[in-house]
């Protein structure tokens, strides 16, 4: 079956953590919009997507073919009538937000993260997702890569937070983070929302991500959403995979 939509994780797939896509990647994404619908789905919020991807795209990108899905698909942004607009946002209530923030503070202490060197705040409210970052939201890339390569620190924090918030989902996100969302929210959930909003069947999609392994935050896409998935080991591999898609679909 001909594929109509190519979806991507962001950090580690299209760009380094919280870094903008480079000029080659921006050009490839623009060319891809000429032959298919394109989605970017990740745990970050809209401002991060705009800085890392949207504002880097060249003028020939067909923005109306982009589906931007922050916070694992609990938000959707589209380019409509010359401007980016929020289609929906499944935000927490004030009461939910207060309970999550208190639980995360307790879990940070229980997991032993109090007193560590940080860059910026550790907890970020993204509306439909609240994210804890072990080194803070502004940590340098080299420090983030070295902090938790075997995931043990984040797994300890995840378990501590889950005990406090059993009715919510606590997922390991980027290289230093865990994400708190409504129950059942992961990238499979987001792909389901994408299929509903776009009218494109999952069988007509391909997803690319760097964490396609059990426990990785991209794993739910092939495991639960049953979408054809390309596991990439580097940003360079993503570029070559995009070139292949352009060749096959063009």
Question: What is the pTM (predicted TM-score) of this model?
Answer: 0.87
- 227 Cβ contact partners less than 8 Å away, ≥ 6 residues apart: 7, 191, 202, 205, 206, 207, 221
Cα dihedral 185, 188, 190, 194 in deg (nearest 10) = -150
Return per-residue pLDDT of the chain as tens, 250 residues. 589 999 999 999 999 988 999 999 999 999 999 999 999 999 999 999 999 999 999 999 999 999 999 999 999 999 999 999 999 999 999 999 999 999 998 888 887 776 678 999 888 999 999 999 989 989 998 999 898 888 888 898 899 999 999 999 998 887 888 999 999 999 999 999 999 999 999 999 999 999 999 989 999 999 999 999 999 999 999 999 999 999 999 8
Cα–Cα distances (Å) from 60 to 34, 64, 185, 192, 210, in that order, read: 9, 11, 34, 29, 27
């Amino acid at each position: 079956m001909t594929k109509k939509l190519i979806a991507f994780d962001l950090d580690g797939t299209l760009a380094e953590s919280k870094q903008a896509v480079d000029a080659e990647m921006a050009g490839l994404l623009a060319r891809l919009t000429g032959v298919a619908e394109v989605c970017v789905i990740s745990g970050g919020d809209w401002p991060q997507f705009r800085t890392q991807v949207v504002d880097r795209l060249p003028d020939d990108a067909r923005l109306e073919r982009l589906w931007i899905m922050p916070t694992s698909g609990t938000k959707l942004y589209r380019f409509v009538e010359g401007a980016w607009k929020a289609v929906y946002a499944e935000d927490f209530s004030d009461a939910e937000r207060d309970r999550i923030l208190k639980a995360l503070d307790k879990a940070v202490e229980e997991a032993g993260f109090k007193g560590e060197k940080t860059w910026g705040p550790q907890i970020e409210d993204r509306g439909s997702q609240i994210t804890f970052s072990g080194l803070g939201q502004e940590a340098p890339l080299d420090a983030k890569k070295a902090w938790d390569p075997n995931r043990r620190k984040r797994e300890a924090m995840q378990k501590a937070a889950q005990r406090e918030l059993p009715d919510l989902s606590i997922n390991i996100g980027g290289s230093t983070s865990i994400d708190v969302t409504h129950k059942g929210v992961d990238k499979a959930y987001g792909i389901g929302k994408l299929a509903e909003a776009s009218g494109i069947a999952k069988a007509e999609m391909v997803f690319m991500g760097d964490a396609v392994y059990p426990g990785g935050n991209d794993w739910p896409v092939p495991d639960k959403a049953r979408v054809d998935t390309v596991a990439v080991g580097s940003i360079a591999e993503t570029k070559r995979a995009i070139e292949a898609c352009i060749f096959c679909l063009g």
